[in-house]
Chain A
Amino acid sequence: MNQKENFLKGFIKENPLFVTVLGTCPALAITTTVENALGMGIAVFFVLVLSNLIISLLMVNPKMQEWIKPVRIPVFIVVIATLVTVVEMVMHAFLTNLYESLGVFIPLIVVNCIILGRAEAFASGNKPLDSIVDGAGMALGYTFALFLISFFREFLGNGSITIWGELKVNLIGLFDFLQITPIDLFAKPVGAFLTFGFILAVIAAITNKKQEKAKAGVK
């Protein structure tokens, strides 16, 4: 697998949210606005890339690998928890609104399966550069998934898209034109499940179609 494939697999083929269905709790909880989704995405990007790098550096030496292997899960958790705490403190200091908006889901990144999963499945057995690329691809794929869910939820639920801070696109005129009001349900947890379910269904339909075509081609 070259670096390009390594990077892109996180977007579609192995998208952590839509394909492997990892990290769904924060994904459903914080996707009320696009800003939240981007904020969470940035936090996950920082943690995932750096944790992959550090773990890969720790495990690249065979002697270190031998010492760490029996205690690798505690080691991974310590590294991830440190990075998450750094993100939390920096966000609290410099992005207070986002920090309050994401709330408990920032410290919960520690137990996000994507981070620990990539550390165990990829970073602990690959070179540092490959691990960085893998982490970046996975984090961006996760961010893209969060963005997609939050885009539909905020648009349908509030009639607007909050990109960052005051930067907001108001689409309520579209609703007025159609003589309907935003569907409040999408801003609530049930809306998160519905949106997530619809997106998964669309992805499944496309995948099935492709597989059918592939089978037909083989025949």
Chain B
Amino acid sequence: MKKGLISGLVLLVIGLVCGAVLAGVNAFTRPVILENELRAKLAILSEFYNVDDYEVELIEIQGPIDTVFLLRNKTNNTVIEKAVYSVRARGYQSDIVMLIAVNSNLTIDQYKVVSQAETTGIGDVIVGFDFGMSGQNVQNLDAFSGPTARVSSDAVYQCFEFVRDRVAIDFAGSVPTLDYTFDGVVYNLDEATLLTKPFIATITVGENTPIELYLALDFSFVELVNGTDPVPSNEILADVKLQASQTTTVSRRTYISAFDAVAKSLVVKTTGYNFDAAITITITLNDSLDDVVSFSITSAESYSDGGYDTHGDAPGLENYLMNRYISDQSVDSVAGATFSANAMIRATQLIELFLNRENGGA
């Protein structure tokens, strides 16, 4: 017992001595390590600007944005001239790290993919690609023109979204707060107007009653649903566009592109992985416009792979899901072809909304 206690004490003492040694070495090396890390980060910043022209403040944070460089005016350091963000988002098979520089007027100045390990020849085309974001207001991001490698492009867009969400903190005081609330956005299912004004957003300005706005396919404002309501300010409309694009209740990738009440046909377009070619579903409705009689897939995303696909040759997946839908089976999930399947699921949800409305539903 006593021997065991002494052995334990010896181990304890050795552990304490080792801890003290480590503390000493850490006190010596830690400042050097921090200085090296700072130097490495400033080297990244010099990709865009001459660091000597500004007083650089470095902010390290947790989350997708790990570092913010605030470039202050050298003579008046209360003025932030630019903010540069080191931001990351998950791509197809790697984290995509970007540097995004924002001017004091919140326009995007420069951006660059600084690190990625996406698929060679497919996802890695994002490096050096001009996404057309320079000059855009970061708080009112438009859809950008990305390469067809959708997952990688989405990650790049997500990086801009992370910066958009952060920028107000860094340029505190420069960004006006808007006195309104965004209440939601839904599909416009009115036969007369749904083609040109596919969405209806509801907002409340100040303490007033809610206002409904017609939005275009890119969520930009078209007109008021009720012409007697006051027109919100441009700043509010810009924010509505931003909020609508972030919602999950509607998607600008899935919409009704044609409706013929005489022929009783409805055309729904929906996009999965291929931004350049949407899936097109042409549906024939019954006389009371509340049920699907038949459908055809006039353009598809799925492709034939020599019979290996469990859903058959193209448009096997699209046909499979539509057949499930019209036979009242669940289409909430499907194995494989995730992006195309999700596009089809969104399409069936939109068709269901349309039929419900014609059937006296919502």
Residues of A at the B interface (CB closer than 8 Å) are 58, 64, 66-71, 74-75, 78-79, 81-82, 85-86, 89-90, 92-94, 96
Contact across chains for A70 and B7 when beta carbons are under 8 A apart: yes
Is B14 in contact with chain A by the CB < 8 A criterion?
A: yes
Listed A/B pairs (20) with beta-carbon separation below 8 Å: A58-B14, A67-B6, A69-B7, A70-B7, A71-B7, A71-B8, A75-B14, A78-B18, A79-B18, A82-B21, A86-B21, A86-B22, A86-B25, A89-B22, A89-B26, A89-B29, A89-B33, A90-B25, A92-B29, A93-B29
Determine the main DSSP class of B at the interface with A: helix
The verdict on A68 contacting B32 (CB below 8 Å), with A78-B15, A85-B22, A86-B25 known, is: no
Q: Does B44 contact A (CB under 8 A)?
A: no
A63 to chain B: closest residue by CB: B6
A74 contact from B4, B11, B33, Cβ within 8 A: B11
B36 at the interface (CB under 8 A from A): yes
**B10 and A75 form a contact (CB under 8 A):** yes
| Closest chain B CB from A51 CB (angstroms) | 12
Interface of A is mostly: helix
B12 to chain A, nearest CB (A): 10
> Once the chains bind, are B29 and A90 in contact (CB under 8 Å)?
yes
**How many A-B contacts are there with CB distance less than 8 Å?**
54
Q: How far is the CB of B20 from chain A (nearest CB, A)?
A: 10
CA distance A90 to B26 in the complex (A): 9
Size of chain B's interface in residues, with CB distance under 8 A?
19
Judging by beta carbons under 8 Å apart, are B18 and A82 in contact?
yes
B328 to chain A, nearest CB (A): 53
A93 adjacent to B18 (CB under 8 Å): no
B211-246 interface code vs A (CB 8 A; 1 in, 0 out):
000000000000000000000000000000000000
Given A67-B6, A79-B18, A90-B29, output 14 extra A-B contacts at Cβ < 8 Å: A64-B10, A67-B7, A71-B10, A71-B11, A75-B14, A78-B18, A79-B14, A81-B18, A82-B18, A82-B21, A85-B25, A89-B29, A92-B29, A93-B32
Chain B residues near A67 (CB-CB < 8 A):
3, 6-7, 10
Across the interface, which residues of A come within 8 angstroms of B32, CB to CB?
Answer: 93-94
Binary per-residue interface labels of chain B (256-299) against chain A in the complex, 1 for a CB within 8 Å, 0 otherwise: 00000000000000000000000000000000000000000000
Per-position binary interface string of chain B over residues 299-326, scored 1 when its CB falls under 8 Å from any chain A CB and 0 otherwise = 0000000000000000000000000000
Contact assessment for B33 and A92 in the assembled complex, using a CB-CB cutoff below 8 Å? yes
Cα(A93)–Cα(B11), bound, Å:
30
- Asked if A70 and B29 make an inter-chain contact with CB atoms under 8 angstroms apart, the answer reads no
Instruction: Tell me the bound Cα distance from A70 to B10 in angstroms.
Output: 11
In angstroms, Cα B29 to Cα A175, docked, is 43
| A78 in contact with B14 given A68-B7, A85-B22 (CB within 8 Å) | yes
Residue in A68, A70, A89, A90 whose beta carbon sits within 8 Å of that of B4 in the complex? A70
Bound form: Cα–Cα A58–B10 in Å: 10
**A160: min CB distance to chain B, Å:** 23
Q: Closest 7 A-B residue pairs measured CB to CB?
A: A82-B18, A93-B32, A93-B29, A89-B29, A71-B7, A70-B7, A71-B11
Chain B nearest CB, measured from A119 CB (Å): 13
CB distance from A17 to the nearest CB of B (A): 28
